[in-house]
Amino acid sequence: MEIREEYMRRALHLASKGAGRVSPNPMVGAVIVRGDKIIGEGWHRRCGEAHAEVNAVASVADKELLKDSTMYVTLEPCSHYGKTPPCAELIIRCGIPRVVVGVLDPFEKVSGRGVKMLRDAGVEIEVGLLEDECRKINRRFMAAHSQGRPFIMLKWAQSADGFMSRVDGTPVALSNPLSRMMMHRERSLYDAIMVGTTTVITDNPRLTVRDWCGDSPRCVTFNQHGRLPVDSHIACGERSIILTECLPLEEQMRRLYKEHGVTSLMVEGGACLLQSFINAGLYDDVRVEISTVVLGDGVKAPSLDCEKVLSQTIRGNEIHLKSS
């Protein structure tokens, strides 16, 4: 079959529309082509709703055209029954003869089974078109199912002289309105956000997405030694996850993934919690915001030596993105 990158790029663009809405599912886009014309397209809009392939097929006015078409899909079509039926079965039932897949799904219930189901039914399959791009758009999903723990971002803001708060733990406004809005957008892309018990006691944070239009992540914290205030926002939250057992951090992360379905986690602090993740080597990305504020003294920011991959300045504050 003739394969054209432009159609997979279109599928990638469609997939990106699901950002902040589909997790813990992956972002997926699908384009259906007949000849040199797109006759249908779709993307996964929200977790629990129809997948990209279903929406693409539904958008085709004349279903007979499907029998002489090619579907481009960024991620391997699913082969199992979850909240929705298998997309591979739909493709077979509709008689689509050719499918181009960007990247295989690492999720153990799919992982090559969708492609095998299609091939066994006589569908012509090509895998790997723009694979790097298709993998990158779902890097959190890919990492979680490959590592058996959530994709972890460590995030903090610090003063120009390297402090996160005042000596007594009193928080200081280090972000500016624009950098805070961008941080809330980032929050909307994660399944869950974690803070330590001391942060809950001193700040009583809500950990919601307030300055961006998106879904708020679940809240995660610890209640070891019964220190968590029962009237705190997190303790009272219906979607909160309270970790109580004294287990190694790595085991806690595996449980978050396996028992709670958390595929991406943002760790916001405080300093001791962040340093414990650093010491354990449990992180994938790091976001550090360096403010123009000078404190002179206070709680020191975590110490981390890793590769800086991107930097930008937002109204005077420097944002450094680093990778493990």
Interatomic CA distance for residues 49 and 264, integer angstroms? 20
Instruction: Judge contact between 269 and 195, C-beta under 8 A.
Output: yes
**Structure-token pair, residue 279:** 């010491």
Instruction: Judge contact between 171 and 202, C-beta under 8 A.
Output: yes
Cis? peptide before 270, omega within 30° of 0: yes
Q: Which residues pair with 167 in a beta bridge?
A: none
**Structure-token pair, residue 37:** 């014309």
Task: Determine which one of 41, 53, 186, 289 is catalytic.
Answer: 53
| DSSP H helix total and E strand total for the chain | 11, 15
Instruction: For tokens 């000849």, name the residue.
Output: 35
Judge whether 307 counts as a catalytic residue: no
Interatomic CA distance for residues 26 and 114, integer angstroms? 15
Three-state DSSP class for residue 230 = coil
Interatomic CA distance for residues 302 and 316, integer angstroms? 21
The single-letter code of the amino acid at 306 is C
Instruction: Judge contact between 228 and 249, C-beta under 8 A.
Output: no
The single-letter code of the amino acid at 305 is D
**Structure-token pair, residue 197:** 């018990």
**Structure-token pair, residue 114:** 């969708």
Instruction: Judge contact between 302 and 271, C-beta under 8 A.
Output: yes
For 278, other C-beta atoms within 10 Å of its C-beta total 19
Instruction: Judge contact between 266 and 189, C-beta under 8 A.
Output: no
Interatomic CA distance for residues 157 and 178, integer angstroms? 14
Active site members? 53
